[in-house]
Amino acid sequence: QVRLVMKAYSFIRENVPRVLSSVKDKSGTVHIPRISQYLYFLFAPTLIYRDNYPRNPTIRWGYVATKFAQVLGSLFYAYYIFVRLCIPQFRNSSQETFNLRGLVLCIFNSILPGVLILFLVFFAFLHCWLNAFAEMLRFADRMFYK
């Protein structure tokens, strides 16, 4: 939701001054973006709206398949970590009476698996998913990490 709000703000910030300046000048042409430009912007991995983006000439479908396979691999690995390292901790604690020591041990034993799952989610979404969509949209500006 935050990403969509940021994209909407960028779209409004880039287009409202253009429309207002053409209304002030009372020129007959008002440049309003097309729906296809807005839809491309919604799926492109960028937060800055432009009418046109640099585009690659072709789509490398092997690259797209590799990125989606990495997303699936990350999800399966996160599931494996969760099932093998997190669930047994909480299953053991649910059978015992509540005490502060057990809660603290359960939390500390879940920190490392939680961080691993967080890294996997970041890798799967921010690297693999966005690169796959950038390739399918032929989005040429791949400076995500700069």
Task: State the pTM of this model.
Answer: 0.72
Q: Both 48 and 102 in a single domain? A: no
Please give the residue range of the domain that contains residue 38: 1-53
- Report which residue type is found at 20: L
Question: Does residue 67 contact residue 142 with C-beta atoms inside 8 Å?
Answer: no
What is the C-alpha separation between 91 and 89, in angstroms, rounded? 6
Residue 65: C-alpha distances to residues 70, 71, 110 (Å): 9, 10, 33
What is the C-alpha separation between 113 and 111, in angstroms, rounded? 6
Q: Based on the structure, what is the number of domains in the chain?
A: 2
Pairwise pLDDT comparison (146 vs 138), residue with the higher score: 138
Q: Both 11 and 76 in a single domain? A: no
**What is the arithmetic mean of pLDDT over 116-140?**
91
Q: Both 44 and 107 in a single domain? A: no
Q: Both 99 and 70 in a single domain? A: yes
Closest Cα partner for 124 from 53, 61, 72?
Answer: 72
